[in-house]
Amino acid sequence: CLLKMVKGNIIVPEEILNFCCNGLQGSTSPPRAREPGEQEEAPGAMASPSPARNPTEVQMSQLVLPCHTNHRGELSTGQLLKWIDTAACLSAERHAGCPCVTASMDDIYFEHTISVGQVVNIKAKVNRAFNSSMEVGIQVNYEDLCSGKHCSICKAYATFVAQGPLGSKVRLKPLTPQTEEEKIEYSIAAERRRMRLVHKDTLKDLLTRRPQETELETRDGSRAVPAEKTRVESVELVLPPHANHQGNTFGGQIMAWMENVATIAASRLCHAHPTLRAIEMFHFRGPSQVGDRLVLKAIVNNAFKNSMEVGVSAEAYGQEMSVSRRHINSAFMTFVVLDQEGHPRTLPMVAPEPGDGERRYREASARKKIRLDRKYVVSCKQTEVPLSVPWDQSNKVYLSYNNVSALKMLVAKANWALAREKEKVRMYTLEEDKFLSFRIEMSVCITASRAFSLLSNLRRRHEWDSHYVSAELVQKVDDDDMIYHVVSQKLRHENKPQDFVILASRRKPCSKGDPYVVAFRSVTLPTHPARAEFTRGETLCSGFCIWPESEEMSKVAYYNQAMPGYLNYVTTNVAGLSSDICSTFEACEKFLLKNKEDLISRLQDF
């Protein structure tokens, strides 16, 4: 700026000009001579040490201006989605070193609105890189510059795909997490990826088990509004400002256009200005380029008492109308209408059109149930989830996710302390505000895959764990998830044995360095209620992680968040007043070695 001022014949003091030029070009003045006895200052001596920043982290701050807002002076959700997508894309490209495109976005729940004059702070960083795709975590909060108040707006997870020349896929370099938080996100990213892949099947499974009749809700004093009256269709021309450096339309721009037509459809139902509360997980099915025409369609699929679901689709075509349209994306958005106190208003009912309209109406009800399951089980903090969550076919994916991710979070904790060591068995503890957790660790001469197979079968646990009396396989959910009814020995001061209904979720390594995982948590089943002859026990988070150390050696670790009824037993062992836990896992080692030898002899006989 100062150089421009000089060129414009504005006089600038010589000292300032020299300082700026030296700063821009690198100072060329000779170093100051040190006084006698003065020591050379170490580089960075004046700077306070700070933790290394994640190289993929991107921070964006945007001041909300009137041009970004709706009629209420609140930030348009479409504009926020564009900023989120831009920040996430920049983070993905930092890791990939090449252009990236948005492949999908997980559920987004908007907790608050943002007003003119406030600042939106967005932080995005890559959680994990797979072969050619990566998960980017995004945190959004707002800042009130006058009061200094900060508040969370939403948290999102986006999947990006790296693209080479002519749209070819690029193999990504692995990401190494550094902090405890990064290690947790890295570990759970594989489980979130698994959940995304089965997302569509979850809806299909639920609909196949539900009656096909469309049951319209009755609401006092309200007449049903034909869904056809909420239908919206709009077209947008993709221009260079809407696209990235490859000429592909920004995913955030498409989401903003979709949010616009969805808002209009919702307004036609309620004759008011709705507020977007959530966007369901969605996938981009293909790209669109500069010059494409995007046709955006929206309709209210179903209206519940205080919320409504709007379905939106985006299709692209070029200049030639004869060419068939390409389906780019479909999304489902949940809106509410707030009164002056900020409470959701009761909405009119929707009368679906026969045929496809009735199908969309049923699917909206199924999606609402799945959203509640996902938010209840997946999005909550671990301590906020009830111990024994009811299990059914529709929430099996999310309970399995919660089961495995809870164990992975416990494994990634940093403050484990060695409490006891007895021969090969080491016992660690982790003290937190609400939990005392323990970890038992040992190295065993067995392949990790074989140990995984043996320890994931609860029906054989009584062979090495004297606390187990029996374990009955109640339901085989799939190859990776099974539900057992477990009966254990009587606890001290108890006059009857305990029983558990346990979901066992097993996972093989997603990539090199990942462990084999067997996770356990309590669930409830209508077929196995609590019975008088047992004391119903519960486990919040426990399980095994198995790492291969060599071709024949494995590190086997058992983790458990101690429940109140189990706490006295754990603390007695930690304090050295009992060796029962160590003895149990010495028996576990013998069990693994014995069955490894049995397997070898059977193979030799074969």
Can you list the residues of the chain whose pLDDT is less than 70?
A: 1-52, 206, 209-222, 321-323, 373-388, 491-494, 563-568, 576-577, 597-606
Q: What CATH code is assigned to 57-208+223-374?
A: 3.10.129.10
State phi, psi for 224 to the nearest 5 degrees: -70, 135
Handedness of CA 443, 190, 430, 493 (dihedral sign): negative
Question: E-assigned strands of 267-391?
Answer: 275-279, 282-283, 293-303, 308-317, 326-336, 350-351, 389-390
Tokens of 585: 């896992």
Q: What CATH code is assigned to 385-595?
A: 3.30.530.20
Average predicted confidence (pLDDT) for the chain: 83
Give the DSSP H/E element, type plus range, for residue 77: helix 77-96
pLDDT score for 71: 83
Query: Which residues lie below 8 Å from residue 548, measured CB to CB, with a gap of 6+?
Result: 447, 448, 554
Which region holds residue 186: left if phi is over 0, alpha if psi is between -120 and 50, else beta?
A: alpha
What percent of the chain stands above pLDDT 70? 82
Tokens of 126: 């890559």
Q: What is the pLDDT of residues 260-287, one digit of tens each?
A: 999 999 999 999 999 999 999 888 988 8
Distance CA(205)–CA(202), nearest Å, equals: 5
State phi, psi for 582 to the nearest 5 degrees: -60, -40
pLDDT score for 33: 45
Distance CA(278)–CA(267), nearest Å, equals: 16
Given the structure tokens 């981009």, which residue do they identify? 284
pLDDT score for 562: 78
Q: What is the pLDDT of residues 331-363, one digit of tens each?
A: 999 999 998 888 889 999 999 999 999 999 988
pLDDT score for 30: 42
pLDDT score for 19: 39
In CATH terms, are 57-208+223-374 and 385-595 the same topology? Answer: no
pLDDT score for 416: 92
Q: Residue ranges per domain, the chain? A: 57-208+223-374, 385-595
pLDDT score for 511: 86
Q: Name the residue type at position 394.
A: S
Q: What is the pLDDT of residues 441-500, one digit of tens each?
A: 999 999 999 999 999 999 999 999 998 999 999 999 989 999 999 999 876 666 888 899
Start-to-end Cα distance in the chain:
83
Contact of 349 with 269, CB cutoff 8 Å: no
Closest CA to 488 of 435, 439, 542, 440: 542
Q: What is the pLDDT of residues 85-136, one digit of tens each?
A: 999 999 999 999 998 999 999 989 998 899 999 999 999 999 999 989 999 9
Distance CA(8)–CA(401), nearest Å, equals: 64
Give the DSSP H/E element, type plus range, for residue 140: strand 133-143
Distance CA(186)–CA(178), nearest Å, equals: 10
Tokens of 218: 């009755």
Angstrom distances, CA of residue 194 to CA of 27, 293, 309, 401, 404 = 53, 34, 26, 8, 11
